[in-house]
Amino acid sequence: MIVAVAGGKGGVGKTTVALNLGAALDAVVVDADLGMPDVAAGRSRGPDLHDVLAGRAAPVEAVREGGPVDLLPCGRSLAGARAADVTALAGALRRVARAYGTAVVDCPAGMAADAGIPLFAASKCVLVTTPDRVALPDAVRTWALATELDAGVARVVLNRAGADPPVDRVERALGVPATVVPESDAVDRATATGRPVSTVDPDCVPARRFRELGEAVGNG
């Protein structure tokens, strides 16, 4: 199974959701943000997604095991992004999913092909948005793109939600159930070091919500 974590706008927490959903599903998290990679790869060295998309490494060779979540990181150089053939991403994701069972893809912001290819390859997607007037329209655009590319939208995550998130409005607009993840220091601390929040505070509300999200996506 390939699950795309998408959202349109940058900075809404796609990486956080991908990391935590990957942990909940025991999946490989693929950082597909070819231009601005975000998932902390730690100190491990080896081929990355740029190498895979340039034909220099096989997808499964680039998966880093042994961390809190299996990870296929992305290179950080412009030259690497330039050399990467984005059309190879769909095949690479399928190979990772075939070898490991599930791949969770952290999609880039925007509506260009690097955001479209994971949706093209995915059978499901999770939309991430913050509950504000700037991010929500981007989530709607991404929903439309995901629908056109047949990536069934399984859930929308209302991330960094305050006291009274517009759950009804978002669920009505997108036609999918929402998972509310409140603002949390534990989540920020965990994401900064490439860990799911369950490793920092397994009983906090965000950790519980991510477990529920994993069950919903895994069973849906």
Binds other proteins (CB under 8 A): choice among 114, 197, 198, 204: 114
Residue closer to other proteins (CB basis): 78 or 163: 78
Nearer to other proteins, 47 or 131 (CB): 47
Among 94, 183, 205, 218, binds other proteins (CB under 8 A): 94
Residue environment code for 64-73, b if the CB has 16+ CB neighbours within 10 A, otherwise e: beeebbbbbb
Q: Which stretch binds other proteins (CB under 8 A): 104-112, 157-165, 184-192, 212-220?
A: 104-112
Nearer to other proteins, 169 or 189 (CB): 169
Asked if residue 194 binds other proteins (CB under 8 A), the reply is no
Nearer to other proteins, 49 or 161 (CB): 49
Out of 137, 162, 175, 202, which residue is the one contacting other proteins (CB under 8 A)?
137
Q: Does 70 bind other proteins (CB under 8 A)?
A: no
Which residues are near other proteins by CB under 8 A?
Answer: 1-2, 34-35, 45-48, 51-53, 55-62, 75, 77-82, 84-92, 94-95, 97-98, 108, 110-117, 120-123, 137, 140-141, 144, 147-150
